[in-house]
Amino acid sequence: MQTKNTKTFYLIPYFAWIILFVIAPIALIAYYSLFDLSGNFTFDNYKNFFTSIYLKLTLSSFWYAFLITLFSLLVAYPTAYLLTKTKHKQLWLLLIIIPSWINLLLKTYAFIGIFGLYGPINAFLNVFGFGETQILFTDFSFIFVSVYIFIPFMILPIFNALDKLNPSLIDASRDLGASSWTTFSKVIFPLTTNGVKAGIQAVFIPSLSLFMITRLIAGNKVITLGTAIEQQFLVTQNWGMGSTIAVFLIIFMVIVMIITGQRDKGANTNGKN
């Protein structure tokens, strides 16, 4: 629809960004990954990645990223849906985003207090006769806080998809005698797949490299690839190995993109029907 000239003109900043801040860093990382600690050229870093530790880390990163994405979606979809039904929906949506502007480290410290043995949650549980429960440093607290961090990234695109949904479609479906579930699964959900997909990408991809809260909230009982990279860069100062893990993270991300990209075609044809 656009001529070559106007297209390139608009895209100059974006392509400049890709070259300078995406391709150049990738090249740099790939370059570093080929050197060992003493600066010799080697493929050892890549060999090391295929030892049990890193494979185990990869699996656990994917598992937790999957759980975080799943729960984010389960919480975000109904929230986004109900938000579209409120009177001042744009305002409510903004109110969902505002908490994410307060410093994450501070909020995490607050969660440590809230989840603590003598924190409000345990005080509440005590009322119902539960003894002091260890909430911190469990998978539950880790996933809870991660979902807390990522939830706006899931709600926003889903809200945007739902918001423009034509209500007459839903009415029509109802009039034709479809149950609420059928209306949802056959009419509403397929029309919001693009939003859901964007949300999944905005949550799943960064979840793979989560680090800080693996220590603060999970007490290092959850270790992800992000934690390992952080350690290699900052503690061991083995930039070669750190870069190698980063290269694999990027490869994993591309695989995820290819998989979700194929679904894209299906969704598009669905949407056009």
Partner 1 sequence: MERTSKTAKLYLALIFIILYAPILYLIFYSFNSGGSMSNFESFTWEHYGAVFSDTRLIMILINTVIVALLSALLATIIGVFGSLGIVYMRNKSIRNSLLSLNNVLIVSPDVVIGASFLILFTMIGVKLGFASVLISHIAFSIPIVVLMVLPKLQEMNSSLIDAAADLGATKGEILRRVIIPFIKPGIFAGFFMALTYSLDDFAVTFFVTGNGFSTLSVEIYSMARAGITLTINALSGIIFIVTLFLVVGYYFISQRGKNPVGMGVRK
Partner 2 sequence: MKDIVRAALTIIFVCIALFFVNDLLDKNSGKAGSDTVTIYNWGEYIDPDLIAQFEDESGYRVVYETFDSNEAMMTKIEQGGTSYDIAVPSEYAIEKMKEHDLLLPIDHSKIPNLKNIDPYFLDLSFDPKNEFSIPYFWGTVGIVFNPSLLDGQTFDSWDALWDPSLKGQVLLVDSAREVIGMGLNSLGYSLNSTNEKELQEASEKLNKLTPNVKAIIGDEVTQLMVNQEAAVALTWSGQAADMMWENEELDYSVPEEGSNLWFDNMVIPKTAANIEGAHAFINFMLDAEVAAQNADYVGYSIPNAAAVELMDEEVTSDERFYPTEETRDNLEVYNNLGLEMLGVYNELFLKFKMGTN
Sign of the torsion formed by the C-alpha atoms of 34, 36, 40 and 43: negative
Q: Determine which residue in the list 57, 73, 208, 222 makes contact with partner 1, applying CB under 8 A.
A: 208
263 binds partner 2 (CB under 8 A): no
CA 131 centroid distance within chain: 34
Angle at 135 between CA 133 and CA 137, to 5 degrees: 130
Write the interaction track for partner 2 spanning residues 32-61; mark x where CB under 8 A is met and - where it is not.
-----x---------------x--xx----
Q: Which amino acid is at 265?
A: K
Torsion angle of the four alpha carbons 69, 75, 81, 85, in this order, in degrees rounded to the nearest 10: -150
Residue 223 as a binder of partner 2 (CB under 8 A): the answer is yes
The reply on whether position 67 binds partner 2 by CB under 8 A is no
Among 236, 262, 268, 270, interactor with partner 2 by CB under 8 A: 236
Residue 17 contacts partner 1 per CB under 8 A? yes
Among 47, 56, 88, 221, binds partner 1 (CB under 8 A): 88
Q: 248 with 209: CB under 8 angstroms? A: no
Judged by CB under 8 A, the residue of 66, 123, 180, 261 near partner 1 is 261
Question: Does the footprint of partner 2 cover residue 127 (CB under 8 A)?
Answer: no
Q: With the C-alpha atoms ordered 205, 151, 123, 126, is the resulting torsion angle positive or negative? A: negative
- Scan residues 159-178 and list those touching partner 2 (CB under 8 A): none
CA-closest candidate to residue 207, choices 60, 61, 72: 61
230 binds partner 1 (CB under 8 A): yes
Residue type, 183: T
d(CA 253, CA 107): 28
Residue 146 as a binder of partner 2 (CB under 8 A): the answer is: no
Instruction: Using CB under 8 A, list all residues that contact partner 2.
Output: 37, 53, 56-57, 109, 112-113, 116-119, 134, 136-137, 215-216, 218-223, 228, 231, 234-238
